[in-house]
Structures are given as C-alpha cells and as structure tokens.
C-alpha cells in the first residue's frame, strides 16, 4: 500500500538572497473520490513548467509547492472520502497522527516549518476538491474580524473569475463553521499570519453554466485541466497587482491560449452562473 508523500517544488530561480520569497502551497485529493481535483492539479503543474511567458515569469518570482495526492491509500483502495484507516483526513488537520494520518502529518509539519522561515512568505494555501451538487468552480474562504483582511482575501477569487470562464464568484463563500474546524482551510487560516490566504477550491463533478446560456456545459478532463491552468495564470495578475512582480516583458495573453475558444460562450462566463444556484444546494462537507 502506498504511504509515501511526494511534493512537487517549482522554485523561483533568480531571486536575490536578501529578498523575501513568496510561496504558494497547493494540495489535492484529500478526499480520494474527488478525481476532478487531480486534473486541476495537473493543469496547474503543466502550465507552471511550460514555456509560456506567464509561467516563466512566475517561476522567476514565486515558489510553488504542490502535493498532488494527500490521500494515496484512499485513492488506491477506491474509497470516496476516507483513508485506509477509515479517517476523513480533512477533519484532522488540528492534530494529525504520524501513524494514522502520515501524509497529513508530514504536510502540516512542512507548512509549519516553512511558515517559521524568515526567508519565505507563505502567502497562499489552496486545497483542491470536487463538489457533488453545485455547478462551476468556486472557492470557500475564511471569515475574519479585520474587514480589510476579508476584502484582501476576496481579491484572488475575483481575479480568477476574470480569467476562468467556468469559475463563479457568486458561488464563492466565506465561513467559519465549527464543523469545519479540522479542515486545511480553517486550521491553516488560523495558524498563518494575516498576510496569508487559505482557500478550498471546489469544482463541480458534472457541469458549469456559461454566461447567457440556459443549459449547463459538461466538464471534461480537458476543461478541468484548463481551470488548473487558469488558476496558475491568475497568480501573475495577483502579484502584479501587489507589485511583487514588476516584470515589464510584453505579455499578450489571449483567452484562447489558456482556456480554449470552444469553452468561451461569452465575456464573463461563470461570473453570474452562481446566481442560478440556491443556498440549499450547497454541500457543506469539504
């Protein structure tokens, strides 16, 4: 039975030693049955290692650490939600056992270690899931007392909504339900400082609703990977907006380069799609 943990590291190559390094940490498949998460993760990795000018700039300025599969035992066994030992790993971030939840324990130790490194600023943690009832891609975030931090947390999903035709900001929500205290998003949102942003990225198992359309568009492996590429691409927009990346190389990105013309039914696809979903359809488990 596979109990190893593999972490993909894409390091910034040309940062000066005295400059603080921005770090983005992504994980996927903590729930083994949520296979769309793997295609999104693959899309992120494929884009970041590509020769696309956006990917080259990101590699020059940001370190990406990616754990594509947090629950390898559960995936191997064909489980939907639990590990080999019968645990829902996304409820054990607070105190994972090195014996019963070894991958979770290892990732938590790595994140804690990196958070204590003065040379690194761990700015993003994103855990990728799939959703059984809602349409489109969307995010869950945390709730904070500081209103400015709340507003800053909304920046990345708003930018992603501009880049991804299937991502819905109106389906994105922020909460601090006690039942989710053991999830990666909630636990790390309380552990990391106020310059860090922790999200759950969800994507529908079946379809997304295009803007101006009355019929849902079925997801495919390719459209899942395109969402992953758009997630990666959005980091450039975010870090340029925050002046961390001041690269003046000309970049002419057309939507078709990343998302594909066949998927774009009109400008702003996905931005209003969540309005068709009601609160009662929300799956509150991840």
Catalytic site positions: 202
Contact yes or no for 215/29 (Cβ under 8 A):
no
Instruction: Round to whole Å and give the CA distance between 268 and 163.
Output: 9
Instruction: Single out the residue of 207, 234, 219, 256 nearest to residue 58, CA to CA.
Output: 234
Joined together, the tokens standing for residue 176 give: 């601090």
SS (H, E, C) 211-226: CCCCCEEECCHHHHHH
Contact yes or no for 120/9 (Cβ under 8 A):
no
Joined together, the tokens standing for residue 105 give: 């324990």
- Residue 81, by phi and psi: left (phi above 0), alpha (psi -120 to 50) or beta? alpha
Give me the residue label for tokens 């295609």.
39
Query: Looking at residue 160, what DSSP letter applies?
Result: H
7: β partners: none
């Amino acid at each position: 039975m596979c109990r190893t943990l593999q972490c993909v590291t894409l390091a910034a190559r040309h940062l000066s030693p005295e400059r603080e390094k921005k770090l983005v940490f992504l994980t996927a498949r903590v729930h083994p049955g949520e296979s769309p998460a793997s295609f999104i993760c693959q899309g992120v990795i494929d884009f970041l290692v590509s020769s696309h000018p956006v990917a080259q700039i990101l590699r020059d300025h940001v370190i990406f650490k990616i754990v594509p599969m947090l629950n390898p035992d559960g995936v191997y066994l064909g489980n939907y939600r639990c590990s080999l030992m019968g645990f829902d790993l996304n409820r054990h971030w607070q105190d994972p056992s090195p014996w019963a939840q070894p991958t979770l324990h290892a990732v938590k130790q790595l994140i804690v270690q990196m958070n204590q490194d003065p040379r690194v600023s761990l700015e993003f943690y994103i855990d990728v899931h799939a959703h059984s009832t809602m349409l489109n891609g969307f995010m869950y975030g945390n709730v904070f007392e500081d209103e400015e931090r709340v507003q800053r947390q909304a920046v990345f999903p708003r930018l992603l909504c501009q880049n991804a035709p299937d991502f819905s900001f109106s389906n994105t929500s922020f909460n601090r339900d006690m039942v989710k205290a053991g999830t990666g998003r909630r636990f790390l949102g309380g552990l990391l400082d106020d310059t860090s942003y922790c999200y759950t990225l969800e994507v529908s198992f079946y379809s997304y609703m295009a803007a101006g359309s009355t019929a849902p568009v079925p997801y495919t492996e390719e459209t899942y990977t395109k969402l992953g590429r758009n997630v990666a691409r959005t980091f450039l927009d975010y870090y340029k907006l925050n002046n961390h990346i001041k690269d003046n190389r000309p970049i002419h990105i057309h939507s078709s380069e990343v998302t594909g013309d066949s998927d774009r039914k009109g400008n702003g696809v996905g931005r209003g799609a969540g309005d068709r979903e009601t609160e009662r359809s929300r799956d509150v488990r991840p």
